[in-house]
Amino acid sequence: MQEVIKSIIDDNRKYIENGVLPEYIPELKKAKKDALGMSIVTLDGEEYHGGDYQYKFTIQSISKVISLLLALEEKGEAYVFDRVGMEPTGDPFNSMVKLETVMPSKPFNPMINAGAIAISSMIEGRSSTGKVEKLLAFFRQITGNPALTINENVYLSEKRTGDRNRAMAYFMKDVGVIEKDVEGSLDVYFKQCSIEVTTKDIARIGAFLANDGIDLKTGKVLVDKKYIKIAKTFMFTCGMYNASGEFAINVGIPAKSGVGGGILATVPGQMGIGILGPSLDQKGNSVAGVQMIKDLSEKYKLSVF
Ligand SMILES: NC(=O)CC[C@H](N)C(=O)O
């Protein structure tokens, strides 16, 4: 497996030049554009790593999967899906157009920015700091990594430049999707996106999802299986933004990407996969990362179809 990871990384390095680092969050432009890493964690606890698997990057949109699980645990399905839909948009992840033009006025799904901000507003707690602490503790539990922290510079950079997210959040307050404290909800969202991880942490999240919410090490149920099923389905239908359909055909497993260059993927009952490649395609997915996971899926016949 180690050898396979190494050759997949080498074979796909050429794609890096087809992409760019994201411009709209200035701090992300400091990433190492040619970093490439991959980790695999199998359900029998084996871990395999290659390339820049120790390189730290911010989790970004991949965090939306975890915040959704926490909101579902705390509020239940009825509350959550009263306010956020279940359908892919076919639009870019930061698009706001359907928020107003399609009735009822609610974000289409929890994997686009609007939906994820609404989900972050549902996390229970007296202050946004308390909510972030709880989310971070949840991330640490799922990854088994107590050292996970927030990259303050990325957080501040997002907060400073996140006017589109801010606009959507205020709109959602107006239509009742967000009930209170817009700025606090945005802060939770910006901070969860700024959690720093490695491909190893991401692969562990993938393994946890593949294992239906049961902690690999302790055997403890951390999240109800029915919520894991919902999260994996959203990853499948909406996780790769407006490239989710193409990804489903070419790769065929639930995945979620982030503009930090990460991709989380999960092979139900088998393994979790974490990928890093900060150079992004036009839709915001890791340009080499998508090819790497395609190769892995073809080699081991991972597609669920
Ligand atoms: N696609 C992403 O990873 C987007 C997350 C980023 N924090 C944003 O709000 O735009």
What is the extent of the structural domain holding 280? 2-58+197-299
Boundary (domain end) residue, out of 165, 193, 221: 193
Q: Is the CB of 259 under 6 A from ligand 1?
A: yes
* 189 labelled catalytic: yes
Single out the catalytic residue among 132, 197, 259, 290. Answer: 259
* Catalytic residue (choose from 15, 41, 61, 80): 61
User: Does some domain include residue 304?
Assistant: no
- The verdict on 127 and 249 lying in the same domain is no
How many domains are contained in the chain?
A: 2
Q: Which residue(s) pair with 56 in the sheet?
A: none
Same domain? For 188 and 220 the reply is no
Per-residue pLDDT of the chain (305 residues; tens, 9 = 90+): 999 999 999 999 999 999 999 999 999 999 999 999 999 999 998 999 999 999 999 999 999 999 999 999 999 999 999 999 999 999 999 999 999 898 888 999 999 999 999 999 999 999 999 999 999 999 999 999 999 999 999 999 999 999 999 999 999 999 999 998 999 999 999 999 999 999 999 999 999 999 999 999 999 999 999 999 999 999 999 999 999 999 999 999 999 999 999 999 999 999 999 999 999 999 999 999 999 999 999 999 999 99
Both 86 and 31 in one domain: the answer is no
- Residue 5 CB contacts under 8 Å (≥ 6 apart), including other chains: 38, 40, 48, 49, 50, 51
CATH of the domain at 238: 3.40.710.10
Looking at the fold, whether 166 and 256 belong to one and the same domain comes out as no
Asked if the structure places residue 305 within a domain, the reply is no
Q: Is residue 34 domain-shared with residue 16, that is, in the same domain?
A: yes
174/212 same-domain check: no
Q: How far apart are CA 32 and CA 104, in angstroms?
A: 42
Whether the predicted model's global pTM rises above the 0.95 cut: yes
161 lines ligand 1 (CB under 6 A): no
Whether residue 184 sits in one domain with residue 110 = yes
Query: Is the domain of 277 the same as that of 208?
Result: yes
For CA atoms 41, 45, 50, 56, the dihedral sign is positive
Pocket test for ligand 1, best of 193, 238, 263 (most atoms within 8 A of CB): 193
On whether both 186 and 240 belong to a single domain, the answer is no
Are 248 and 138 in a shared domain?
no
Is the complex ipTM higher than 0.90?
Answer: yes
Q: Tell which atom from ligand 1 comes closest to the C-alpha of 60.
A: 3
Cβ neighbours for 85, distance < 8 A, ≥ 6 positions apart: 106, 107, 108, 109, 115
Atom of ligand 1 nearest to the CA of 194: 7
Active site residue 131: no
